[in-house]
Structure 1
Amino acid sequence: MKIKFAETASGDTLAVPAYSRTTLSDPATALDEKTGGAISRAIKASRFKGEAGDVVEIVSPNGVDAARIVVFGLGESKDADGNVFEKAGASVVKHLLNTGADTVSFHLDGVTDTESAARTALGATMAAYRFDAYRTKLKADKKPSLKTAEFVVSDEKAAKKSWKSWEAVADGVKTARDLVMEPANILYPTAYTKRVKEKLEKLGVEIEVLGEKEMEKLGMGALLGVGQGSVRESQLVIMRWNGGKDGEKPLAFVGKGVCFDTGGISLKPGLGMEEMKGDMGGSAAVVGLMHALAGRKANVNAIGVIGLVENMPDGNAQRPGDIVTSLSGQTIEILNTDAEGRLVLADALWYTQERFDPRFIIDLATLTGAILITLGHEHAGVFSNDDELVDNLTRAGKASDETVWRLPIGAEYDRQIDSTVADMKNLGEGRNAGSIAAAVFLQRFVNEKPWVHIDIAGTGMQTGSKDPRKPSFGTGYGVRLLDRLVRDYYEG
Structure 2
Amino acid sequence: MVSINVSQGDALENDSSALVIHAFEGITKPDGILSTIDSLLSGVVNSLIKDGEFTGKSTEIVRFPTLGKIKPSRVVLSGLGKKESINSLKIKEKSAEVARYLRNIGVTNISIALLSESDTGISEESFGQSVAMGSSMGLYQFKKYKSPKANNPEKSVESISIISPTGSSLPDLKRGVEKGILLSNAVEITRNLVNEPANVVTPSQMANIASETANAAGLPITILEKDDMVKHKMGAMLGVTAGSAQPPKLILIEHKGDPENPDNNIALVGKGITFDTGGISLKQAAGMGDMKGDMSGGASVIGAMHAIGTIKPKINVLGVIPAVENMPGSNAQRPGDIVTAMNGKTIEVENTDAEGRLVLADAISYIIQEKGTKRVVDIATLTGAMVIALGHVTTGVFGKTQSLVDEVLKASKTVGEKMWQLPIFDEYKEQNRSDWADVKNTGGRPAGSITAALFIGEFTDGADWAHLDIAGTNMASKAKGHIVKGATGVPVLSLVQLVENLAEAT
TM-score band, normalised by shorter chain: over 0.9
The match for 2:379 is: 364
Gaps of 5+ in 2: 118-122
| Pair 281,62 (structure 1): closer, same or farther in 2 beyond 3 Å | same
AA matched with 1:263: G
**2-structure distance, mates of 1:233, 1:159:** 46
Residue pair 1:18, 1:50 contacting (<8 A) in 2 also? yes
The match for 1:81 is: 87
AA matched with 2:493: R
The match for 1:294 is: 309
1:340-395 deviation line (CA, Å, top 9, x unaligned): 11111111111122222234110000011111111111110000111221122212
AA matched with 1:69: V
| Pair 131,417 (structure 1): closer, same or farther in 2 beyond 3 Å | same
Given the alignment, which residue of 345, 367, 389 partners 1:330?
345
1:440 maps onto 2:445 in alignment = no
After superposing the two structures, state which structure 1 stretch, 123-132 or 49-58, moved more: 49-58
Over the residues paired in the alignment, what is the CA RMSD in angstroms?
A: 1.9
User: Aligned to 1:226, what secondary structure does the other structure show?
Assistant: helix
AA matched with 2:124: D
1:310 maps onto 2:325 in alignment = yes
1:280-325 deviation line (CA, Å, top 9, x unaligned): 0000111111011112233322100000011111111111111111
**1-structure distance, mates of 2:295, 2:212:** 18
Post-superposition shift, 1:156? 2.3
The match for 1:189 is: 203
TM-score normalised according to structure 1 size: 0.95
**2-structure distance, mates of 1:351, 1:26:** 60
**1-structure distance, mates of 2:145, 2:215:** 26
The match for 2:71 is: 65
Residue pair 2:124, 2:176 contacting (<8 A) in 1 also? no
The match for 1:124 is: 135
Residue pair 2:133, 2:184 contacting (<8 A) in 1 also? yes
Residue pair 1:26, 1:109 contacting (<8 A) in 2 also? no
Given the alignment, which residue of 8, 16, 25 partners 2:21?
16
The match for 1:262 is: 277
TM-score normalised according to structure 2 size: 0.92
1:479 maps onto 2:484 in alignment = no
Given the alignment, which residue of 134, 142, 165 partners 2:145?
134
The match for 1:276 is: 291
Post-superposition shift, 1:120? 1.3
Residue pair 1:17, 1:27 contacting (<8 A) in 2 also? no
User: Aligned to 2:304, what secondary structure does the other structure show?
Assistant: helix
**2-structure distance, mates of 1:51, 1:481:** 29
Post-superposition shift, 1:76? 2.3
Identity among equivalent pairs (%): 37
Post-superposition shift, 1:108? 2.7
What does 1:81-230 align with in structure 2 at a 5 Å threshold? 81-111=87-117, 113-139=124-150, 141-153=152-164, 154=166, 155-230=169-244
1:466-489 deviation line (CA, Å, top 9, x unaligned): x22112110000111111122234
1:117-146 deviation line (CA, Å, top 9, x unaligned): 221111111111111211233447441331
AA matched with 2:163: V
Post-superposition shift, 1:26? 3.0
Number of equivalenced pairs = 490
1:397 maps onto 2:412 in alignment = yes
User: Aligned to 1:310, what secondary structure does the other structure show?
Assistant: strand
Given the alignment, which residue of 472, 481, 485 partners 1:468?
481
Post-superposition shift, 1:411? 1.1
**2-structure distance, mates of 1:74, 1:431:** 44
